[in-house]
Amino acid sequence: MCGIIGYVGENQAAPILLEGLSSLEYRGYDSAGIAVFSDNKINIQKAGGRLSVLNQKTDNGKAVTGTVGIGHTRWATHGKPSDTNSHPHLSKSGRFAVVHNGIIENYIPLKNKLIEKGFEFVSETDTEVIAHLFEYYYKTDIVEAAIKVIGHVKGSYALGVLCSDYPDRFIAVRKASPMIVGLGENENYIASDVTAILSHTRKVYYLEDDEVVVLKKDSVKIYNIDKDEVKKQAFTVDWDVSAAEKGGYEHFMMKEMEEEPTAFMNTISPRIKNGRIVLDDISLTEEYIKNINKIFIIACGSAYHVGMVGKYLIEKTCRIPVEAVLASEFRYCDPIVTPNDLCIIISQSGETADTLAALKEAKALGAKTLSIVNVVGSSIANLSDDCIYTWAGPEIAVATTKAYSTQLAVMYLINIYFAEKLGTITPEQYSSLVAELQKVPDMIAGILAQKDKMQYCASKFYNCHSIFFIGRNIDYAVALEGSLKLKEISYIHSEAYAAGELKHGTISLIENGTLVIALATGKMLYDKTLSNVKEVKARGAVVLGVTTADMPDKEDLGDYLIELPDVNEMFLPSLTVVPLQLFSYYVASLKGCDIDKPRNLAKSVTVE
């Protein structure tokens, strides 16, 4: 949530800051602003609404001169969207300008203390407290002031700070909110996401909690809270710049759906060698796997839906009890976790606030932790005992598609890997599953090639007020994701239900013309779901059925039918979800919605 960029170098800062903020629009925001050293003072320009308003106000940055600056896109947590509540925020004297991602949990007592000291507040934000705290604690050393601020604030934050006493530099601080440092030639950067600086540099440092970085055009120095200098290893980002650009597509979401076959293959290929699954040097030994008492799969949103699929698969294949848990619930339910339990943590960004906190809770309880993450060097990846990267590349659209698909791919790998170690599948089954897994990308590509079918279906139903998804077992888990995609980007009310629960209340919502999307891909439960379809049709529902091409009597499943290739049922979620993603996309497109940046949503949820 929110976006930060900072620049120091020999070029004009404002155009670079605005360009970087444009790359961060996908994270979700309601206002934008920049602060640049100009004419021996800090020049702040900010505006509510889209970044285009700020671009117009500053003539695309040309009206703001200076070679050192910070920028921000805000997603409101404290105070309504407005010019006043936009970042950057100034301290009392104007000496400090601050941009902030995260939440300061103790800002009220800090604010009251500062008011008693004579500080006046002009905004409703928690961030303004930070600006005044810097001025309150500042003597002559900005790093010492930062360390004192860190010692007094509670919560999550990534900060970029300008001080008018230092016109050749700025500082950044990070705790539980993402922040990277970009290293260039006679110029350096900070950013909350690598996409903001990818066109300028690929060499980065990943900051750890409570580290303070001082950036000049020709140097970067990092300090811990004891003011000891910290030496960092630089990482090279290997993403292609074009991966963060639309490449001729109207929306990033469509581009990323088209990338799903390649992303899926990139996830599994390095881990399959000579017909064997090899998992990135993880420390989970065969002995440990055989002694796992229980597995918790912890995640939020779409990643949680991957966890639901994982629960069904691992329990069926490995015969280990699995509980899929929303990270926000895991944090506060006083979970019963033992050292013999494995906690699998799933997060695209590796910075999801509730998921990160749940990971810390799991580790504190003594559990082994294995994370599934896309972003290298992220907080969750670094804190976990083991990490499997999805290698999905940058995902810009808020509504996830290829990240979800690659997380599923990792879940398949884990499931087969564990089952082989546990002896719950035969060597022949193991070989067959590995071979079939490698065919999934081509099957996904085949479904995408027939997207005109989903476009046609969307044209029939884009004016619906409510749409229901039903399915059983793994189909129910995928239905949850299909429903979420639809509501995220089209704003149509949508719910997913386990098909067997319809008669326990939900069927009362079915009336003439109600669209029900029925997933029936599993052979064992097909007849059960078909019975549920007949129940809703008897009450006037129109049914869009999704099943496999070899299913008997499939014509009875719905008024409209989407057929999937026949594949081992373990891998069906990767096929079933694709038409649902396409349906959501085309519905939103026909409604004229902002598909890549849906209202009120953010890509990376780094606050509770």
**pLDDT tens, 261-280?**
999 999 999 999 999 999 97
Residue 585 confidence (pLDDT) above 90 = yes
The predicted model gives 401-420 an average pLDDT of: 97
pLDDT digit string (tens) for 479-496? 999 999 999 999 999 999
| pLDDT tens by residue, 16-25 | 999 999 888 7
Categorize the per-residue pLDDT at 242 as very low, low, confident or very high, splitting at 50, 70 and 90: low
DSSP state of 207: P
**What pTM, to 2 d.p., does this model score?**
0.78
CATH code 3.60.20.10 region(s) in the chain: 3-238
Q: How far apart are the first and last CA of the chain?
A: 11
| Closest listed residue to residue 26, CA positions, set 394, 445, 282, 486 | 394
The enclosing H or E element of 408 equals helix 402-422
Provide the pLDDT for residue 576. 97
**What does the block give as tokens for 191?**
């950013």
Say whether pLDDT at 376 is over 60: yes
Task: Look up residue 390 and give its amino acid.
Answer: T
> In the block, which residue shows the tokens 């399959």?
272
Q: Give, in words, the CATH class of 449-593.
A: alpha beta
pLDDT computed for residue 433 by the predictor: 98
- CATH no. of 242-438: 3.40.50.10490
Q: Which of 79, 84, 33, 26 is nearest to 55 (CA)?
A: 33
Report pLDDT for 44. 96
608 pLDDT higher than 60: no
- The CA distance from 277 to 395, in Å, is 26
Q: Does the pLDDT at position 297 exceed 80?
A: yes
Residues of each domain in the chain carrying CATH 3.40.50.10490:
242-438, 449-593
Give me the chain's average pLDDT, please.
92
Q: What is the pLDDT of residue 607?
A: 53
Mean of the pLDDT values across residues 291-319? 97
Determine contact, residues 110/129, Cβ cutoff 8 Å.
yes
Burial class (CB in 10 A: 0-12, 13-18, 19+), 62: exposed
Cβ-based neighbours of 50, under 8 Å, separated by 6 or more: 32
CB neighbourhood size of 20 (10 A): 29
Q: What are the Cα distances from residue 140, in Å, to 134, 135, 143?
A: 11, 11, 9
Active-site residues, by number, are: 2, 603
Residue 606 predicted with pLDDT over 90:
no
Range name among 234-238, 253-257, 283-287 with the lowest pLDDT average: 234-238
Please tell us whether the domain made up of 3-238 is placed in CATH 3.60.20.10.
Answer: yes
In 58-168, the DSSP E strands lie at 68-74, 89-90, 96-104, 155-163
Provide the pLDDT confidence category of residue 244 given band limits of 50, 70 and 90: low
Write down the pLDDT at residue 95.
96
- Among the residue ranges 71-80, 183-192, 326-335, 395-404, the one predicted with the least confidence is 71-80
